[in-house]
A and B are shown apart, each in its own frame.
Chain A
Amino acid sequence: MTDDPNFTPPADRRSATDRAHIGDIEGALGTLPAHDTRPRRTFSARLATLLAVIGPGIVVMVADNDAGSFSVFAQAGQNHGTGLIWVIVLLCPALFVMQEMAARLGATTGVGFAMLIRQRFGRIWSWFSLTQLFGLNIATLLVEFIGVRLALGYFGVSRYVAVPLAAGALITVTAGGRFRRWERAMYVMIALDLALIPVAAFAHFHGAPAAVGGHAVSQRGDHAGLLLLLALFGSSLTAWQLFFQQSSVIDKRITPRWLNYERADTAIGAVLFGLCAAAVVAIAAAAIGNGMLHGHFHNVGDVLSAVDIQLGGPAAAVLAIMLLNASLLCAGAVSLSGSYALAELLGTKHSLHRRFSDAPWFHAAFAGMIVLAAAIALIPGLPPGSATVLVQAGGALLLPPMLVLLLLLANDHAVLGPQRNRWIQNAAAAATIAFLAALSMMLALRTVFPGVRLHVNNLTIPAAAAAVTVAVVLAHTLYQRLSGSAEDPDHELTPWERRTWTTPALERIDPPSASRLRTAALAAAAGYVAVVAVLLGYAAAGL
């Protein structure tokens, strides 16, 4: 840095995949000129910067509380009372660790997750990640539109009015060509979502006392309990969120200079996610936790009716509006995660700063996914409740390999330079992946061999897997420190250069070095995919 307090070097990215990704941050709550990289010394200056930067993290986290989460968390509350709240307490830090890596990759590289995967891991992983992204996105969108249907159905609106109306509104907001307008619309929906928290407090004090002893899942080890547990993780930790936040950080023009503010954004989002999820559990538990429906979750529509009976019409109406809102918010974010990835891989313009005519592929992909899912949601006779849980569990099943790719990218020196992971981030991320992978494997095993007795407390195996992984990461870090191979290759950089380092154009950086750990991690991920595919194929053949 120079001595002049009013001047600091620019901190732009060295490369971009769309010109619209470079420039001033035009957030819903403030503007941050690209040249203004001065240190923020006063509280008000920091607050103003934070308000301009926040967005991607909050949007991705609150959108995570979608119709599917509503459904699964309501199911948890209905069947197990508030006994599963501990899952939410575990989920928040896990979400933060994963999303922070995606945000850091976005700010530093300027390249989306899908493109990075293709560049660093090749075609096969690229196809795998795209297929699962689009497959799950369509399934998730379907769940959102069923949510719209149920929510407006509560008010007696026909699905043939509700679903097309919702789809049209989403496309209009997104194709407007103004990032700020889009973010404002998102904030309005987020604000509405947060109204869940007072509703939950009301339900908690006016509803029936919640059922206690909801630890049934973790102790019984039954198939449905495992499935629900996996769905709780799968509805909260999802691949689309990684794709979305990375691209959104880029499109919002957040550079590494603002990474700490973006971290705050992600942390605030994770807390809001936890509060909203806990609110849904509490409402469902209070409304039906000890009633006749306890233990017999069918779908969110039933929860709405039960709330209506237990807490009165206004509470149920508020909940229905929440459900509608959450569905729309998530549908908007999920489709964007796909259209960003697709347009970037196609080499076409992809930015919310551009109008429909200016970025036709990007906006058409968005609109196409919305319309397709809306059309499927109109087909009569879809079973909303069970379909939702299957989508969530499927997402959780496919997530571990994606997280392995994310973790490898976050440790790739050519990609992240001085901003790559520290050991503590690796330990936290690896533990989450191991936990999730073990849980998924257990479910897959139970599906194929119903006789397998996993009667030991269900969580012992995933927890042990997580502990072993943390031990491996620690041992590896210690080994590197002791053997001297951990020497920082960026030690000649000044602190300012470290904080504002960005990745050169991808075509110019070194090809990935074939370290033993990288090869082992990729092999493990591929092996995991193969085993899950075989088990599910076997299960499908047996049906």
Chain B
Amino acid sequence: MNGPQLLPDEIAQQVADTMFALSTPSRLQILAYLQHGPRTVGEIVDAVGMEQSAISHQLRVLRDHNVVTVRRLGRSRQYAVRDEYLIGILADALSHITSVDQAMPAPAIRAAS
């Protein structure tokens, strides 16, 4: 049934899964924070301002959906965005909402400390 212009069903499901991973404000905040480079859980907790257990859970969801990768650094774990395409998705989404509502000022991404 899929014409040449459609995505194969399997691929559409996978894309939807990736979008699902980016579908809550807290997970987007984590992605926005991580786009400037790898960070430890402690740094993410401080920056995003949520409880450690909530951040850990969201990081596990992001990891399960291949959005972030984890690396052991001594006693702590360091998280990084898996690939730059994800940063592109975030940037495009920001451009999109800006173009939808021209009256709205471009949302500033919180600067990484």
**What is A's interface to B at a CB cutoff of 8 Å?**
15-16, 18-19, 123, 346-349, 505, 507
Contacts and interface: CB of A to CB of B under 8 A. Distances in A.
A505 B20 contact: no
Contacts of A349: 17, 64
15 contacts: A15-B24, A16-B20, A19-B20, A123-B53, A346-B60, A346-B64, A347-B59, A347-B61, A347-B64, A348-B61, A349-B64, A505-B24, A505-B26, A507-B24, A507-B50
Given A507-B26, A507-B50, A347 B57 contact: yes
Nearest to B64: A348
A347 B17 contact: no
B89 interface: no
**Chain A interface SS verdict (over half):** loop
Contact of A19 (B17, B26, B63): B17
Contacts of A348: 60-61, 64
B94 interface: no
B48 to A, nearest CB: 11
A16 B16 CA distance: 13
B26 A347 contact: no
B54 interface: yes
A360 to B, nearest CB: 10
B16 A19 contact: yes
Interface string B5-47: 0000000000011011000101000000000000000000000
Contacts of B54: 507
Most buried by A among B24, B58, B64: B64
A19 B16 CA distance: 8
A489 to B, nearest CB: 25
A246 B3 CA distance: 39
Q: What is the size category of the interface that chain B forms with chain A?
A: 10 to 19
Contacts of B53: 123
A414 to B, nearest CB: 16
B50 A347 contact: no
Contacts of B24: 15, 505, 507
Interface string B53-73: 110011111011000000000
Nearest to B63: A347
A522 to B, nearest CB: 19
A19 B63 CA distance: 15
Nearest to A23: B16
Given A346-B64, A507-B26, 15 more contacts: A15-B24, A16-B20, A19-B16, A123-B53, A346-B60, A347-B60, A347-B63, A347-B64, A348-B60, A348-B64, A349-B17, A349-B64, A505-B24, A507-B50, A507-B54
A19 B22 CA distance: 11
Contacts of A16: 20
A351 B26 CA distance: 23
Interface centre among A16, A19, A348 (most CB of B within 10 A): A19
A406 to B, nearest CB: 22
B98 to A, nearest CB: 24
A346 B17 CA distance: 17
A349 B63 CA distance: 11
Nearest to B55: A507
A126 B3 CA distance: 49
A348 B60 CA distance: 7
Contacts of B17: 19, 349
A507 B63 CA distance: 19
Contacts of A18: 20
Nearest to A17: B61
Contacts of B20: 16, 18-19
Contacts of B57: 347
Nearest to B59: A347
5 pairs of A and B residues whose beta carbons are closest in the complex: A347-B60, A19-B20, A347-B61, A348-B64, A507-B54
A453 to B, nearest CB: 49
Nearest to A505: B24
Nearest to A346: B60
Contacts of B61: 347-348
Contacts of B58: 347, 507
A438 B11 CA distance: 55
A19 B64 CA distance: 12
B1 to A, nearest CB: 16
